[in-house]
Amino acid sequence: MLTTGSFQVSATAGGKINGWFFTSFLLLEAAAGWFLITLKLSLTVIITSTLLGVICGMLFTLKNRGIRGVLRIYVELFRGCPLLMQLFMGYYGLAYLGIQIDIFSAVVLVYTLYGGAYIAEIIRSGIESIPKGQWEAAKCIGLNPVDVLRDVVLPQSFKISLPALIGFHLGLIKDTSIASIIGYSELLREGKTIMNVTGYPFETYILVAVIYFIICYPLSKYVGWTERKAGL
Q: Is 80 exceeded by the pLDDT of residue 198?
A: no
How confident is the model over 69-117, as pLDDT tens digits? Answer: 999 999 999 999 999 999 999 988 888 888 888 889 999 999 999 999 9
Instruction: Give the global pTM.
Output: 0.78
Q: Give the pLDDT confidence score for residue 109 in this predicted structure.
A: 94
Q: Give the pLDDT confidence score for residue 62 in this predicted structure.
A: 81
Q: Give the pLDDT confidence score for residue 86 in this predicted structure.
A: 93
| 99 vs 138, higher pLDDT | 99
Quote the CA–CA distance of 111 and 52 in Å, as a whole number: 11
How confident is the model over 9-34, as pLDDT tens digits? Answer: 444 434 444 456 666 666 666 666 77
Q: Is 70 exceeded by the pLDDT of residue 201?
A: yes
**Section 170-177 average pLDDT:** 87
- The domains of the chain, with CATH numbers, are 2-230 (1.10.3720.10)
